[in-house]
A and B are shown apart, each in its own frame.
Chain A
């Protein structure tokens, strides 16, 4: 393969990873935008999502990569897996908000963040204790279609992931910009008190935000499984950290910023893996996080530095 082919291939890979990180980053950024909380539970809601999707597909009789589907059955199976997973993780997110985070709303200091760490740890260990520590082979009904573009390969898998991510992001964008609830979300993010006085039910906005963010994390979980053909209890940690970096890079609280940041982080991961070394990827991404915080804490698209305390 020539240099261009390798580059193209890594860009294809990077955009696929980036689509996943972007979906995950949206959850961080939306919750932060509304209640200024870094939700560490989000890391493992994503991980649980990838298991939900696996279980749904197994329940439909698709085990491993041996069952290949075409046409409507394929779309149907993926759609069911996606919708059920997103509902599942969405409800999980709402439950977390209602049971553990709402009582702490307005408590200053580190308490809410510590709670999300505890929740994240609970999810992590529940999965570990139930499915064990080994990686699980993922169900994947996608046919092995591939197109050669020069020396690079574009698989159906990637096209599929791109379209899922694109549809979800366009849908979210439409929701936030055009619907009444979306406008209420924007208003709450700007000024909670003012929004409340204008008749916005802030509690409901927070619940919807958690639902949407967690549902997107579930979709990202499914994408992870389909892309890598495995899942494990441990995937939430590094993917979550990358997605958070993406959210900061794009500008925390900024929805288009999270999408842009996600794609950039995906590209950095694939190109860094190619041209530096895979084992240093985490270090590169962490360095980006620190550099962004030092030189441009408002992120690429963010308006103001998150400096208020």
Chain B
């Protein structure tokens, strides 16, 4: 795919340096250098204490990467992340320690044969000793943690995001309590003992830190790889879309419940795997290791590094770990020295190591107030177009007459594409839509007009599933779609734009449009990470499709393809909404006031483009207030007033209709107008 080059500014000195360091080619080089340095670290610094601190730091970097998927990518605030860490840890503790010892029976023999348990001969009784291998426990713990993630995420996911925060906070609180209250499984407050150490090819890790450090490092590299791949995939884009605007994401075919649960489960799974690693390294687990402060520390790591930024999160995690284990000690001495020199007693007493949690709190507040995107933002601002690029003459309707159809569905031209029968919706006592009937034939442009509050947008919301009808039926291409979820309706070929613009503001144009492809592409989380040929092909085709669709708008959108949607002008936002809806490959396109806020030239341009879309196989239903647009392109006009259809016909017929005149102009004025003509 060939993207138009994005202009980079000429900068000098320090910013030019950073520009270079942060450019993609350099990012890879910096990453490889850092990995090599990290791999050499135990050889360079042969101090067991330092290596131990570094091995512990890897665990927290892993956790931060997992939390970043939940908080950074999907925008779900999880305040009890340590609970999943605990679940992983205790899964390992139970499957690979002396903690749980049921009585021996023949039931255990096959497991003994598989090497999962040992027959323990004690003086009093024969017991079972679980000895499941570390390498088996780790994926198992991830699954168990993911299961709990789904279990506790599910109740809150249909509510506002805040509720997830409070439920996870509560979950984070009770998991250590349950651990303390079930000594049979966890040995309560004393903590697990005798956790088996991992073995690899007969070599036991024992209590030295170096092997754990390398396992941690490899896991981090894998998790970074998985995070990067996920972020730039169908799944990652759907998460970001949910984070930006849940309703728009749903209307573009994203099943938000499923994707939120997926994010939650993957995040929990990361934590579960890390729990296993951490317990194996420490050889114990106590409830105190998984309390609220751990969750807060992880949150600080990702907030400091940059929510959603994989590199930022790793930097944040490593920095905070080093701060705790190395820097603060030295800093405290420095401050004490300052106190002695200046004679300020306060400085002499201060202990920064003790104040670490206070520092965490301050970091959270300062970052939120002054730098919400973190040290290394997930996105760098793309520079605005140059004057020359902006002044370039918009080519109107460049590819508009392209021969190919915009969708690949078979449409029976003889039957109505959309049939609405007796559709009703009431909000409390107000009947917004009452008994609406209408049919839309394939390949036509039907305009819905009516005074403000006549139920036009409610009608659109009912057809696209954003609200559920109180009665009646909506049939699309012979299939009853009444009451389906918006994402299911998109998948069946009806896509829409919004009157009040619901773009994914912090995603690029390219990503915005790619979200539209969600419902008709298939890559799952695993496919997104591994990227088999099928997924690559699908992604490639989707990107080609984006270029084709943006081409409809000439050079209005194309040069800005890597810009964030929130930087667009109002008219371009309207165009982008249409492009995003087209990407779902609809047969029926519902446009809610597409030309609102456009000047006459732009309106004319868009009118032609809408007609072009019809010529390429789409059926269009549009709400429009500009009657010249309606007269120009509509084959049929439907007039709504107080939720009822008061007229239907060609634009000319509707213009002569007295009821329409009275609805728009009031009774008296209508009489006057009628007499005058």
Contact = CB atoms under 8 A, between A and B. Distances in A.
A119 B358 contact: no
Contact of B155 (A113, A125, A293, A309): A293
B368 A111 contact: yes
A305 to B, nearest CB: 7
Interface stretch (B37-45, B167-175, B456-464, B472-480): B167-175
21 contacts: A36-B162, A107-B372, A110-B77, A111-B368, A113-B162, A113-B165, A114-B299, A114-B364, A117-B296, A117-B364, A118-B360, A119-B365, A122-B365, A129-B354, A129-B355, A279-B181, A286-B174, A290-B167, A306-B160, A307-B160, A309-B245
Contacts, number: 125
Interface in A108-151: 109-115, 117-122, 124-126, 128-129
B355 A289 contact: no
Given A38-B165, A309-B246, A238 B181 contact: no
A309 B159 CA distance: 8
B361 A114 contact: no
A103 B169 CA distance: 25
Interface size class of A (residues with CB under 8 A): 35 or more
A111 B303 CA distance: 10
A104 interface: yes
A100 interface: yes
Nearest to A96: B365
B505 to A, nearest CB: 9
A201 interface: no
Given A290-B155, A293-B159, A306-B160, A282 B358 contact: no
A119 B361 contact: yes
B77 A289 contact: no
B635 interface: no
Nearest to B359: A125
A197 interface: no
Given A117-B364, A129-B355, A289 B247 contact: no
B580 interface: no
A306 B162 CA distance: 10
Interface residues of B, number: 47
Q: Give the residue among B75, B171, B364, B368 with the most A Cβ atoms within 10 A.
A: B368
Interface in B11-25: none
A121 B361 contact: yes
Interface string B127-159: 000000000000000000000000010011011
Q: Give the residue among A38, A117, A286, A290 with the most B Cβ atoms within 10 A.
A: A117
A36 B369 CA distance: 19
Contacts of A100: 365, 368-369
A283 B152 contact: no
Interface in B170-215: 170-171, 173-174, 177-178, 180-181
B357 interface: yes
A15 B177 CA distance: 25
Given A241-B169, A289-B166, A290-B167, A121 B369 contact: no
A98 B404 CA distance: 58
A241 to B, nearest CB: 6
A248 B169 CA distance: 14
B292 interface: yes
A174 interface: no
B365 A118 contact: yes
Given A280-B181, A290-B155, A293-B156, A111 B372 contact: yes
Contact of B159 (A120, A128, A245, A305): A305
B79 interface: yes
Contacts of B368: 100, 104, 111-112, 114-115, 118
